[in-house]
Chain A
């Protein structure tokens, strides 16, 4: 066997190891999270209580309860508010950048959007506590300005960049001859967008939205600061309303705020890892969905 062949083999092996290591890491993290919460999850956690109770009192000395419903609702609420804002604006910006603006404007806009993506999340939290706080109070008259609305707006701004850039990629990938065909049939540019580009780029745009959702669900620092971090049930079922002006608390923020104080191995500690598992499951499902959609498995 000569050296060149050996070199090729070595490089091939190296590349293979790199590829496989990603799987190993993801799997490893999952196993670690699972292991840390396992004993509690299987022996002492009341799953019904976990999913249906809003009583999250892990540090109560005589009667600790582990109801995560309010936290789940908090995450859902801020994500919903964020998406209600970020999806129309993000996709609108993606359409504008890819179809309507001149090259100069496009460059400028893309730089701004990249800057938006580069702002650290703690800075967003800062903006939430100060600027947004004051604005929310002034505009809505709410007694506290750190609430679902506040963090929803912050999260919207944080997930816009990914929606815009993936959405723009999806639109850019539509071959130009489709636009030309539609225009030659007399469609206006706006009609081209919604009658041709949206159907053609549907999968990519959906993936953009889902990745935005994933970004919002997983965000921690900014929501910790901007939600008010108080355990409230923000959804009412009768009648169904979402209290956007109510403070809330999310799954992620709970872990971040409490893990440092929970003694290692305690029920509290383990319960936080169970929340971690839940987050893992949610983001995994979202990403899987995005992936399946991108592959067009969900054709109608």
Chain B
């Protein structure tokens, strides 16, 4: 697999085929077929309850934490069906990182949060303390948090401000260089300034990572994403370059939604 550092490629990071998902008897995803390009930001929009979070959570199988979930169909991440028997969940989640709606740093130190994946995934002793320190520092620098926390690395991460917490939640994905970063309304718990900071961060991370972001904020989807997917009632209605989806939607539903007539 070739990773081109610059710009969108013709490669797809995520491809789903006939993806269906049930919570108990309730079908939340219906025959979802979608291909998400590598190296760009794709936004996922749609009215509340249409299945955005559900779809996002399929991409790293974190949905399966709930006991009553049944999934059928294919989800290929970098060409490999992640619902195959032989897939290792830790490996999958190393490749596909997730940022949640509410910032959820672990109740350990800032340093330990960022080093968490290194410790979980690396062979014990394979990484020296210095290498780990460096990885932590560069991850925190990448999310522009280093200057704010460099003197308090060993303080509890849960004591940070929400915006800083969310940046930390992004930073802790970076040391192992995931292929894909999934973000579920990452700004919904933040104020305008925090939102701007996260959006800036996304544009910094863009191109090196494939980013999929769920948002309710039309302006954000428009500003920050290259492609846009519109979902309704568990189905994909429209998927295309963001501007096309907003300015020249193929479906009446999409048009109504993006113009704020419902949602």
Interface residues of A (CB under 8 A from B): 174, 177-188, 191, 195-196, 199-200
Contacts and interface: CB of A to CB of B under 8 A. Distances in A.
Contacts of A196: 106-108
Most chain B beta carbons < 10 A, residue from A174, A183, A184: A184
A187 B98 contact: no
A186 B100 contact: no
Given A187-B116, A187-B120, A195-B116, 6 more contacts: A181-B104, A184-B60, A184-B98, A187-B90, A188-B120, A196-B107
A195 B120 contact: yes
Most chain B beta carbons < 10 A, residue from A174, A185, A196: A185
Nearest to B91: A186
A187 B65 CA distance: 13
B121 interface: yes
A186 B90 contact: yes
B102 A185 contact: no
B106 A181 contact: yes
Contact of B120 (A177, A191, A199): A191
Contacts of B169: 181
Interface of B: 60, 62, 65, 89-94, 97-98, 100, 102, 104-108, 116-117, 119-121, 169, 172-173
B87 to A, nearest CB: 12
A137 B213 CA distance: 67
A185 B139 CA distance: 15
A196 B104 CA distance: 12
A185 B98 CA distance: 8
B94 A195 contact: no
Contacts of B172: 185
23 contacts: A174-B107, A177-B104, A179-B65, A180-B65, A180-B100, A181-B104, A181-B106, A181-B169, A182-B106, A183-B93, A184-B62, A184-B97, A184-B100, A185-B116, A186-B92, A186-B94, A186-B120, A186-B121, A187-B90, A188-B120, A195-B120, A196-B108, A199-B107
Given A177-B102, A186-B91, A195 B119 contact: yes
B65 to A, nearest CB: 6
